[in-house]
Chains A and B, each alone.
Chain A
Amino acid sequence: MEIRRQEAVVMNTECVSVEGLSVSYLSPTGRVDALRNVSFKLYDGELVTIVGPSGCGKTTLLNAIAGLLNFRKDVLMSGKIFVKNPKSIGYVFQRDALLPWRTVIENVTLGLEVRKFPEEKRKKVALDLLKMVGLEGYENKYPHELSAGMRQRVALARAIAYDPEFILMDEPLGLLDAQTRMALQDEILRIHMKTRKTILMVTHDIAEAIILGSRVLVMNSRPGSVKSEYVVKLPKPRSALGSRLDPEFNRLYRLILDDLKEDMRMGQLDLL
C-alpha cells in the first residue's frame, strides 16, 4: 500500500489525483472488493461529478480521498492518492450529519471551533454564510426544527465555513424531494461560482451529474471502477432548469445512460 499525501506543490494546478486505486474490505466471511484500479485527476476550482449505481464504491472512494480509511485495519488499499492539501478538506454527507444538540450557527462554526478561531470571527463567518445559503434568521434554531432541505443547506455552509480548498459531497441531495433538490442544485452552482472551490460530488442521478459537473465520471460496480468520462459543455452560468432544456444535456444523458445499462440489466441501478 502506498498512499502519498503531500503538501502543496508550487504552481501545480492539480488538486487531487487518484492513480490505480483499489480498495477491499476484509471481513470474517471473506474479502469484498469495493474499488478496482480507479484513476482520475481533479484540477483547482473544478466541480466534477461521479455518477454510478448504488454499491459501486462511491462512498468508499470519497472516504479514501478524505483519508478516513487510513487507520482502518479491515481495509486493504493499493494505488496512489494525492491531495494537494489533505488538511483542508470539506465533506457533505447524504444525511446532513448535523449535531442535533447544537443550534444552526453552532453547527456551521464547528470547523472554525476545531481550528480554534476566536468566537466573534466564527460568528461573523457563520452569519455571512447563512445569509449566502438563504437561512438568515435561522441561526438559533435546532436542526430538528428545520426541513430536510434547510438542514442540507446548513451542512453545505458548515463544509465551506472553515474555507477548505477541496470539498467532497456524497449524494448530498439524494434524500430531498424533486423541487428542493433543484433549488439546492442551483445553490451548489452558485456557491461554486462564488467560492471557486474544487468540488468532487457523487450522485446516482444522471441529470444532476450533468447539470452540476464540468466533467462527469461514470462508474460501474462490483468492484467499482471508472468506466468513462464526459466533458460537459453547457453554457455558464448554469441553472438546474436551464441546463435541462439544452440539447447537450440530452446528448450526454443518453450516452451516460447507455454506459450504465449493463449495470441496470443486472438490476443494480436504482434510478428511482
Chain B
Amino acid sequence: MKPSTSNWKLHVRRLALLMMFLLLWEALAGGIYPLFSLLDPFYSSSPSRIGRELYILFFQENVLKDIFVTLGEAFAGLILGIVSGVALGLLFAYSELVSSTLEPFMSALNSIPRPALAPLVIFWFGIGIFSKIFLAWSLAFFVIFYNTYLGIKSIDPDILNIMRVMNASRLQIMRIVILPSVVSWIFAGLRLSVSYSLIGAIIGEFVGATVGIGYQLIYAEGLLMSDRLYALVLVVAIMGATLVELVKRIESRFLRWRPEIIL
C-alpha cells in the first residue's frame, strides 16, 4: 500500500532511523568524542565533514554552475533522444523493410558500453558540452526508440480494426490511436532515459571536461579530497532523485487514464 502523507508515524520512524545512522557514523569517525574512533575519517569521512564541504562547494566554489552545466547537457541529450527516438521508432514501425534490415545494427550499436565510447566521442566533439550531449543522447535515444517501436507494435490490433471498420483515414488512425499510445510509451521510458542521460553526461565529463559534476568528481579524486567526493556523490544523488520525482509528477498528470502502478 502507498503510504499517505498524513502517515506521520512512518515519517518519524524513517527520520529517527536516518538520524541514528548519521549519529553512529559521526561517532565512529571520531567526530563526537575523538578517542572513540574506529574509522579513519580520511576514508570514511563523516556527516559534519561532508556538511562543511557542501558549504564550501556551494558558497565558495560555486558548484551550482557545475550542476547546471551537467543538467543542461543531460537535458539536451534527452530532448534530442526523444525527438530522434520517436522519429526512428515510427519509421521502424511503419516500414517492414527498414526494421527488418536495420534491427541487428540497432541492437549491436546499443550493446556498446558507453564508457568505452566516451574517449572516441571526446576525440570527435572535443571537451566542450557537445561530447557530453552526444553521450547522453546515445543512452536516452535507444530507450525512447525501443519504447516507441515496441509500443506501436503492441497496439491492440482490434483497436486498429475498429478504426478501419469505421472508415478512419490513415491520418485519423495516426492522430487518434498511434500518437496517444506513443506518448504513453515515451513516458514509460522517460524515468529510465532521464537517469540514463544524466549518466551519459557524467561519463563524458569523467573522460574530458573543464566544468560539470563529473569533472568536479575527477578533480577531487586527483587531489585526494575524500570529503569532497562524498559531498559530490550526495549532490549527484539528489540531482538524480529530483529528476525522477519530477518525471513522476509529469507522468501522473499525463497518464491519468492508467491504473496506478505501485513499485
Q: Which of B159, B166, B180 contacts A114 (CB 8 A)?
A: B166
Interface string of A216-231 (1 = CB under 8 A from B): 0000000000000000
**Nearest CB in chain B to that of A161: its residue:** B166
| Complex Cα gap A90–B166 (Å) | 7
Q: Is the CB of B156 within 8 A of A95?
A: yes
Which chain B positions have C-beta within 8 A of A142? 256-258
Which residues of chain A have C-beta atoms less than 8 A from B181's C-beta? 101
Q: Is the CB of B257 within 8 A of A101?
A: yes
Among residues 104 to 142 in chain A, which have CB atoms less than 8 Å away from a CB atom of chain B?
A: 110-111, 113-115, 142
CB neighbours of B255 from chain A (8 A):
101
Interface residues of B in 139-171 (CB under 8 A from A): 156, 158-159, 161-168
User: Residues of B contacting A101 with CB < 8 Å?
Assistant: 180-181, 184, 255, 257-258
Shortest Cβ distance from B158 into A: residue: A97
A175 at the interface (CB under 8 A from B): no
Known: A114-B166, A142-B257, A162-B166. A93 touches B158 (CB 8 A): yes
For the complex, what is the distance from the CA of A115 to the CA of B181, rounded to whole Å? 22
Q: Which residues of A contact B184 (CB under 8 A)?
A: 101
* Chain B residues closer than 8 Å to A115, beta-carbon distance: 166-167
Indicate whether B172 reaches chain A with its CB closer than 8 angstroms: yes
Whether A100 contacts B167 by the Cβ 8 Å rule is no
Decide if A91 touches B257 in the complex (CB within 8 Å): no
Q: How distant is A74 from chain B, measured CB to nearest CB, in Å?
A: 12
A100 close to B158 (CB less than 8 A): no
A115 CA to B167 CA, complexed, in Å: 8
Interface 1/0s, chain A 223-252, versus B by CB < 8 A?
000000000000000000000000000000
Q: B257 contacts A68, CB within 8 Å?
A: no
> In the complex, what distance in Å separates the CA atom of A91 from the CA atom of B258?
25
Residue-by-residue, is A63-93 near B (CB-CB < 8 Å gives 1, otherwise 0)? 1001110000000000000000001011101
CA distance A97 to B164 in the complex (A): 13
- The reply to whether A102 and B257 contact each other, CB–CB distance below 8 Å, is yes
Among the listed B156, B176, B180, which residue makes an inter-chain contact with A110, where contact means beta carbons less than 8 Å apart?
Answer: B176
Known: A89-B165, A110-B166. A144 touches B258 (CB 8 A): yes
In the complex, whether B211 has a CB less than 8 A from a CB of chain A is no
B34 within 8 A of A: no
A100 to B168, alpha carbons, bound, how many Å? Answer: 18
* Residues of chain B with a CB closer than 8 A to A111's CB: 166
A255 in the interface (beta carbon within 8 A): no
Q: Is the CB of B165 within 8 A of A68?
A: yes
Q: How far is the CB of A133 from chain B (nearest CB, A)?
A: 17
Bound complex: CA A95 to CA B257 (Å): 18
- Which residues from chain A contact B158 at a C-beta distance below 8 Å? 93, 95, 97
| B156 CB contacts on chain A under 8 angstroms | 95, 97
CB distance from B97 to the nearest CB of A (A): 14
Residue pair A66, B258 in contact (C-beta under 8 Å): no
Q: In the complex, A56 Cα to B168 Cα: how many Å?
A: 29
CB distance from B254 to the nearest CB of A (A): 9
With a cutoff of 8 Å between Cβ atoms, the chain A residues found around residue B104 in the complex are none
| Minimum-distance CB pairs A-B, first 6 | A97-B158, A142-B257, A144-B259, A101-B257, A93-B158, A114-B168
What are 13 contact pairs spanning A and B, CB under 8 A?
A: A66-B164, A66-B165, A68-B164, A89-B165, A91-B161, A93-B162, A95-B158, A97-B161, A99-B180, A100-B257, A103-B257, A110-B162, A114-B168
- Having A67-B165, A100-B257, A100-B258, one finds 14 other A-B pairs with CB under 8 Å, namely A66-B165, A67-B164, A68-B161, A68-B165, A93-B161, A93-B162, A97-B159, A97-B161, A101-B184, A101-B257, A115-B167, A142-B258, A143-B257, A144-B257
